[in-house]
């Protein structure tokens, strides 16, 4: 049994672990400069928004609500990713950003990490408007009161990045587990945040499908394992 588990672990996480370990051994924290900046930005927003003088400025530049004009929501969405939700422990957001953004930055590069993170966050932001328009009666709908909910934090980006990286590095069971966990979350507690996570996953799966379609017939669809002749270190910028 232990041998089977070891083979499964190597098959599931071997390429991912090898890539991350090689980057950290070679470069240390220099391998994840964007992630460290994101952690500092998130922590900075948390400190500022908890000050009497800082709450409103943070709301003005990074707080998104479905009732806001669309142009304003789109303008605030990039920074909303780094504004921690006031009703959740900030350490959870910081840990998510450090772990998932760090792995993604090493494995797929900082610009692609930011792109996938923004796509996932934007999908959640736009879904909220669609869900409210559908109303609370359908499985995809939301109550009108959710239009006033402040929608910030990195969770949608984290979920989207986790699914994307798992797919790129062949950790399919892990990616499926992330998706299943988000579905269970919505079943148990069908709120705005949970449904936005599903919207983020859907957007990332569409991206993966488009990339697979575009890459069909090319010889770069898979991720070679470290130690093979065709393996090269990941691009980090």
pLDDT, residue 138, reads: 82
In a domain, 226, yes or no: no
pLDDT at residue 219 tops 60: no
Report pTM: 0.88
pLDDT, residue 195, reads: 95
Q: How many domains does the chain have?
A: 1
Give percent of the chain above pLDDT 90: 80
Phi, psi at residue 98, to the nearest 5°? -60, -45
Q: Are 66 and 146 in contact (CB under 8 A)?
A: yes
Alpha helices in 50-190 (DSSP H): 55-62, 70-80, 90-96, 102-108, 110-134, 155-168, 172-188
pLDDT at residue 226 tops 60: no
pLDDT, residue 215, reads: 81
| Nearest to 152, CA basis, from 94, 43, 54, 78 | 78
139: containing domain: 2-215
For residue range 47-103, what is the model confidence (pLDDT) as tens digits?
999 999 999 999 999 999 999 999 999 999 999 999 998 888 999 999 999 999 999
In a domain, 237, yes or no: no
pLDDT, residue 139, reads: 84
In a domain, 228, yes or no: no
Band (pLDDT 50/70/90 cuts) for residue 232 is very low
In a domain, 225, yes or no: no
Mean of per-residue pLDDT scores for the chain? 90
Q: For residue 188, give the CATH number of its domain.
A: 1.20.1540
For residue range 19-54, what is the model confidence (pLDDT) as tens digits?
999 999 999 999 999 999 999 999 999 999 999 999
In a domain, 229, yes or no: no
Residue with tokens 């859907």: 202
In a domain, 173, yes or no: yes
In a domain, 203, yes or no: yes
pLDDT, residue 217, reads: 59
Residue 169: both structure tokens together: 């590095």
pLDDT at residue 236 tops 70: no
In a domain, 220, yes or no: no
Give percent of the chain above pLDDT 70: 91
């Amino acid at each position: 049994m232990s041998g089977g588990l070891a083979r499964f672990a190597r098959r599931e996480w071997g390429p991912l672990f090898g890539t991350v370990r090689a980057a950290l051994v070679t470069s240390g924290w220099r391998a994840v400069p964007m992630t460290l900046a994101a952690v500092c930005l998130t922590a900075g927003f948390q400190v500022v928004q908890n000050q009497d003088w800082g709450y409103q400025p943070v709301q003005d530049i990074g707080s998104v609500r479905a009732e806001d004009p669309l142009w304003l929501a789109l303008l605030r969405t990039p920074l909303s990713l780094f504004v921690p939700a006031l009703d959740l422990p900030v350490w959870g957001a910081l840990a998510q950003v450090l772990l998932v953004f760090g792995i993604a930055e090493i494995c797929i590069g900082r610009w692609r990490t930011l792109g996938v993170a923004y796509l996932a966050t934007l999908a959640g932001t736009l879904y909220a408007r669609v869900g409210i328009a559908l109303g609370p009666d359908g499985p995809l709908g939301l109550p009108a009161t959710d239009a006033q909910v402040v929608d910030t934090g990195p969770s949608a980006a984290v979920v989207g990045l986790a699914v994307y990286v798992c797919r790129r590095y062949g950790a399919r069971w892990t990616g499926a587990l992330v998706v299943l966990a988000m579905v269970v979350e919505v079943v148990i507690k069908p709120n705005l945040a949970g449904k936005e996570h599903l919207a983020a996953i859907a957007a990332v799966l569409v991206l993966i499908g488009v990339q697979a379609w575009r890459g069909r017939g090319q010889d770069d669809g898979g991720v070679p394992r470290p130690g093979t002749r065709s393996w090269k270190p990941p691009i980090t910028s």
